[in-house]
Amino acid sequence: MRIRNWDEYQESYKLSVEQPEKFWDNIAKTFKWKKPYDKVLDWNFEKPDVKWFENGKLNITENCLDRHVETQPDKTAIIWEPNDPNDEGIKWTYRELHEQVCKFANVLKNNNVKKGDRVCLYMPMVPQLAVAVLACARIGAIHSVVFAGFSAQSLADRINDAKCKVVVTSDGAFRGQKEIPIKDIVDEGVSKCECVEKVIVYKRTEQFIRLENDRDVWWHDEMEKVDADCPAEEMDSEDMLFILYTSGSTGKPKGVVHTCGGYMVYTYYSFVNVFQYEENDVYWCTADIGWITGHSYIVYGPLLAGATTLMFEGVPTWPDAGRFWDICDKYQVNQFYTAPTAIRSLMSKGLEPVARYSLNSLKVIGSVGEPINEEAWRWYNTYIGKEKCPLVDTWWQTETGGILISPIPDVTELRPTYATYPLPGVQPVLLDKDGNEIKENNVEGLLCMKYPWPSILRTLYGDHERCRTVYFSTFKNHYFTGDGARRDAKGRYRIIGRVDDVINVSGHRMGTAEVENAINEHPWVVESAVVGFPHDIKGQGIYAYIICDRHVHSEQAFKDEINETVRKEIGPIAKPDIIQVVSGLPKTRSGKIMRRILRKVASGDISNLGDTSTLLNPDVVEEIIENSPMVKK
């Protein structure tokens, strides 16, 4: 189960390729099943149709909670550190967390939530969010967590797509020095959703909010009406566990579906190996539960392993840039998992905020969300890991459910900027554009998977054909990740970025079409084209080229209006960093926008634009270059 040295890795990997069903059966058997599965795996990548642990019956919360309550009821399950360091945090044991989950599961039942119903969770990083996630799973309801930084419109789109019956939220949220009116956003979003019957509101900030009669109820009032007796609903291994929306290369977000059995087995397995979690360790992932990282490596993975998992409400730079390191020392954190964006942001503040803290408890440090650049890797390794903590640079996606390629601490060899080797059970390949496998090393290609792993997505909610075309139709009998990758002489993988129209901003995937659709809502905008460009902190920034139907007298005022339009349509995370008003866009004669040229200009590299004479409007390229703030004149 846990791999402890290189020989074990090689032996484990060999078994996982030669006898994959035996490999996963050995791991799955260690869980609590209400009824054992009949068959480990049945799969077809063309349809696609993947089933793991067929006809097995279980409830994931019995494996996250009940079995630990039996063996270690007083062990701390969740530590919660609030936004304000002067406020009191929370520590819940497995027994206390179990009680909270069962009570809130009964609250959901009281509010007419049944097995198979969808519940939207739009909450700050409070422990009640983890409770709500697990309570849904307890009764067989399907949770759809929406990051509480998305706009009312984005929230409404996701609620309507999943036809959520209930929304769980809070009155407000604290984030650094800001107080965010969460309930106001929910009210606006839900006003566009006929499917919502109830809104359950957790009191966090005590700001004034409006409660809608017959629709809105307080969390605390509802919890007083119930007891903590809630038997876990029997679920099939392939029953839906949750929907999580992710941006795609077309405007409409994709509702990625994960199921109970395979997701449970894989998140546990990947958590214990990638972080080498030991019995009394304190583990901290700084992500938000609104993203897949929070689902798999704050809630499910750690709790399945009986770990102590830390949740943090605030931001890394408030009240100062030492906040992360203060928390590491305060709770004697052993495994620390964060995003390259956070590391680059903290690097820019200098070493003084780090020097105040010992960080001696750290044993493993990790990186997630996007490829980490070498400068950030070395800073993180030197000043946070003190060159004694393995740095696990993990690669995975919302669609994969768990980490697929990553170093294993003290087992596999590290190389800066490389995610290194696949975990046993994961079979990556590099293909050329024609779908031929590139078998040698020291090569680049398109990263695909040729065999399923237990937490692979099963479908896109309500749109299986889109799932097939996006992930399984590009290359026959392969899952296509959308990423390009390099493999070095030792077979280690380095992810070199998206090959589709998706921008990775601070680890958040933004579809260019989604941002363009938002920009085009502005009444002056005729057309827009969005590309990514290198950004010192975010990894990639958003560069928008915009055609207007009138002369723009004040570019700054216009840019502010565009940013406000995007904020309303998607949320502040999608606001363009650079906006350039243009008279036209470079297009082929068939009308296709040449994003390759726009990406080159946005990065300031105009050395090799290729032949532009075949464009419909070649003159516009010169104009764009001339007016670009990124091109050195």
**Residue 373: what pLDDT?**
82
DSSP 155-185: HHHHHHHHT-SEEEEES-EEETTEEE-HHHH
Phi–psi pair at 560, nearest 5 degrees: -60, -40
Instruction: For 236, list phi and psi in degrees, rounded to 5.
Output: -80, 150
Domain boundaries, the chain: 60-72+81-233, 275-393, 503-627
60-72+81-233 with 503-627: one CATH topology? no
- pLDDT for the residue 194: 96
pTM reported for the whole predicted model? 0.88
Output the 3-class SS for 437-493. ECCCCCEEEEEEECCCCCCCCCEECCCHHHHHHHHHCCCCCCEEEEEEEEECCCCCE
Residue 272 pLDDT: 98
Residues above pLDDT 70, as percent of the chain: 98
Cα–Cα distances (Å) from 72 to 103, 205, 608, in that order, read 20, 33, 62
User: Does 633 have pLDDT greater than 80?
Assistant: no
What is the pLDDT, as a whole number, of residue 614?
64
Terminal Cα-to-Cα distance of the chain (whole angstroms): 58
Please tell me which residue, 378 or 341, carries the higher pLDDT value: 378
- Report whether pLDDT(288) > 70: yes
Q: Is the pLDDT of residue 509 over 60?
A: yes
CATH topology of domain 275-393: Rossmann fold (3.40.50)
471 phi and psi, to 5 degrees?
Answer: -110, -25
Say yes or no: domain 60-72+81-233 is CATH 3.40.50.980: yes
Nearest one of 606, 609, 610, 611 to 632, comparing CA atoms? 606
pLDDT in tens, 41-55: 999 999 999 999 999
Which has the closest alpha carbon to 69: 40, 102, 33? 102
Quick check: 248 pLDDT over 70? no
Is 400 strand, coil or helix? helix
Q: Report how far Cα 478 is from the mean position of its chain's Cα atoms.
A: 22
How high does pLDDT run on average in the chain?
93
Query: What pLDDT digit, counting tens, does each position of 313-346 carry?
Result: 999 999 999 999 999 999 999 999 999 888 988 9
Of the pLDDT bands very low, low, confident and very high (cuts 50, 70, 90), residue 506 is confident
Integer CA distances (angstroms), 630 to 280, 528, 543, in order: 50, 18, 10
| Confidence label for 372 from pLDDT (cuts 50, 70 and 90) | confident
| C-beta of residue 597 within 8 angstroms of C-beta of residue 587 | no
Summarize pLDDT for 139-176 with one digit per residue, the tens. 999 999 999 989 999 999 999 999 999 999 999 999 99
Q: What is the CATH number of domain 503-627?
A: 3.30.300.30
Greater pLDDT, 601 or 505: 601
Looking at per-residue confidence, does 30 or 248 come out higher? 30
Whole-number Å distance between alpha carbons of 419 and 415: 8
| Cα-based torsion angle of the residue sequence 278, 494, 297, 449 in order, rounded to the nearest 10 degrees | -110
Give residue 539's pLDDT band: very low, low, confident or very high (50, 70, 90): confident
